[in-house]
């Protein structure tokens, strides 16, 4: 789930949340994480696309990467700033080349009555924030969180209203020409899918509970995904795979709404990435021999410099396993007050981090 730029309204809530963040012992590991300004330039290449949050990526194959963004600023004409830009609930982009420091990118949004408009259309007062997905064969499966406004005192200004998944039957077309078909939807406490990955014959969907931010795992066979048979969805229960969401058990407690899970690039096991808390946050990583766990305690891997600023508002740390240029490629979002976002073009663009991992994963994280 992404966070809109209405920071002043939520300021007290963020500060209260920061007071309850509890430090968790880290796992020792020799690794380095550094800012990647050469890659950051990728998101500054279109004079009309003026920033967004979210930033999920999906490998489309053939040197192409799909980016999906939440709340976005789109200038009505080149040269306009954010103050006069359209505020669009979601946009997308196609990157050509897997190394973001050398890749090209093209951004997309719809145009309705001459105005920039979202790719995933709102349902009345419910809008869509894209999350992750996967291409299986000639079909692209994409997930979105349904979001509703929530003006109550202790809210962040929005609340979860479930999720929806779409099939794109023509993923090689430009996104404005996509044929979007609703594939499945859900309204329980678990929101699918912050991360989607294929392992052998199965496609695994990592979901996050609202409001606890615990991570759950569901799965389908890749064949079922291609055939659209989502009634075959299974959930990890802690002891095995069950057909009911009500029997599911979390594999990680207290992660984040935008956590990512990928195979460890050192071959053995898996890695999870998320921002710990929000506001002045750190990006942390966990490792496990299997998707079902057990997962090691979180280890701080990078502190965004924006987290050291007054009224810090940093979130959405996640990895992008299809990207090249480092062992791990991570992005995060840096936000601010409405006035600052309107004028400060150094924030509200996704920021890249590249990570060099230790030569071997910890023994506790290696698959047997």
Domain ranges for the chain: 7-365
What pLDDT is stored for residue 361 in this prediction? 79
What pLDDT is stored for residue 307 in this prediction? 97
Handedness of CA 43, 45, 47, 48 (dihedral sign): negative
What pLDDT is stored for residue 153 in this prediction? 66
Judge whether residue 18 has pLDDT over 70: no
Mean pLDDT of 177-190: 95
What pLDDT is stored for residue 362 in this prediction? 81
Q: Give the up-direction half-sphere exposure of residue 272: CA atoms within 13 A in the CB hemisphere.
A: 36
What pLDDT is stored for residue 11 in this prediction? 38
Judge whether residue 317 has pLDDT over 60: yes
Whether the bond into 292 is cis, omega within 30 of 0: no
Mean pLDDT of 107-136: 97
**Cα separation, 55 vs 34, whole angstroms:** 19
Whether the bond into 171 is cis, omega within 30 of 0: no
**Cα separation, 199 vs 263, whole angstroms:** 9
- Spatial CA neighbour of 102 closest among 147, 41, 13, 169: 41
Q: What mean pLDDT is reported for the chain?
A: 91
Judge whether residue 5 has pLDDT over 80: no
Render pLDDT for 22-51 as a digit per residue (tens, 0 to 9).
333 333 345 899 999 999 999 999 999 999
Contact 302, 355 (CB under 8 A): yes
Cβ-based neighbours of 145, under 8 Å, separated by 6 or more: 1, 128, 129, 131, 160, 162, 163, 191
pLDDT > 70 fraction of the chain, expressed in percent and rounded: 91
Mean pLDDT of 117-146: 97
- The CATH-assigned architecture of domain 7-365 is 5 Propeller (2.115)
What pLDDT is stored for residue 367 in this prediction? 76
Place of tokens 């078909």: 181
Render pLDDT for 187-225 as a digit per residue (tens, 0 to 9).
999 999 999 999 999 999 999 999 899 999 999 999 999
Catalogue the long-range contacts made by 335-342 (C-beta closer than 8 Å, 24 or more residues apart): 335/3, 335/5, 335/7, 335/53, 336/5, 336/7, 336/311, 337/7, 337/8, 337/311, 338/5, 338/6, 338/7, 338/8, 341/5, 341/7, 341/82, 342/81, 342/82, 342/83
What pLDDT is stored for residue 366 in this prediction? 80
**H, E, C per residue of 227-262:** HCCHHHCEEECCCCEECCHHHCCCCECCCCCCCEEE
φ, ψ at 221 (rounded to 5°): -70, 150
What pLDDT is stored for residue 154 in this prediction? 66
Mean pLDDT of 238-263: 96
What pLDDT is stored for residue 360 in this prediction? 82
Judge whether residue 90 has pLDDT over 70: yes
Mean pLDDT of 249-262: 97
Judge whether residue 127 has pLDDT over 80: yes
Give the pLDDT band of residue 15 (cuts 50, 70, 90): very low
What pLDDT is stored for residue 163 in this prediction? 97
Contact 101, 354 (CB under 8 A): no
pTM equals 0.91
Judge whether residue 7 has pLDDT over 80: no
**Cα separation, 129 vs 145, whole angstroms:** 5
């Amino acid at each position: 789930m992404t966070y809109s730029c209405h920071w002043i309204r939520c300021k007290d809530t963020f500060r209260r949340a920061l007071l309850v963040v509890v430090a968790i012992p880290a796992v020792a590991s020799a690794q380095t994480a550094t800012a990647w300004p050469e890659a950051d330039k990728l998101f500054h290449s279109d004079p009309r696309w003026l920033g967004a949050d979210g930033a999920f990526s999906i490998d489309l194959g053939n040197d192409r990467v799909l980016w999906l963004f939440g709340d976005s600023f789109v200038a009505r004409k080149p040269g306009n700033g954010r103050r006069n830009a359209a505020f669009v609930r979601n946009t997308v982009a196609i990157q050509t080349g897997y190394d973001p420091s050398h890749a090209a990118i093209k951004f997309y949004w719809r145009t309705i009555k001459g105005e920039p408009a979202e790719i995933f259309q709102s349902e009345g007062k419910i809008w869509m924030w894209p999350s992750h997905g996967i291409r299986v064969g000639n079909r692209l499966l994409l997930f979105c969180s349904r979001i509703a406004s929530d003006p109550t005192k202790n809210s962040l200004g929005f609340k979860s209203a479930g999720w929806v998944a779409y099939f794109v039957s023509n993923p090689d077309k430009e996104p404005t020409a996509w044929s979007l078909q609703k594939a499945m939807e859900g309204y329980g406490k678990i929101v699918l899918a912050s991360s989607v990955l294929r392992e052998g014959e199965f496609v695994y969907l990592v979901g996050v509970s609202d409001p606890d931010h615990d991570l759950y795992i569901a799965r389908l066979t890749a064949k079922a995904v291609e055939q659209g048979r989502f009634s075959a969805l299974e959930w990890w229960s802690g002891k095995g795979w069950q057909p009911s969401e009500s029997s599911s058990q979390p594999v990680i407690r207290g992660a984040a709404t935008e956590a990512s899970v990928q195979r460890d690039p050192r071959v053995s096991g898996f890695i999870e990435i998320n921002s710990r808390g929000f506001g002045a946050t750190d990006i942390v990583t966990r490792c496990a021999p299997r998707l079902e766990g057990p997962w090691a305690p979180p280890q701080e891997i990078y502190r965004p410099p924006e987290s050291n600023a007054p009224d810090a508002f940093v979130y959405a740390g996640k990895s992008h396993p299809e990207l090249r240029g480092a062992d791990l490629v991570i992005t995060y979002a840096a936000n601010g007050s409405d006035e600052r976002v309107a004028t400060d073009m150094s924030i509200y663009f996704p920021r890249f981090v590249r990570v060099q991992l230790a030569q071997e994963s910890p023994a506790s994280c290696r698959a047997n």
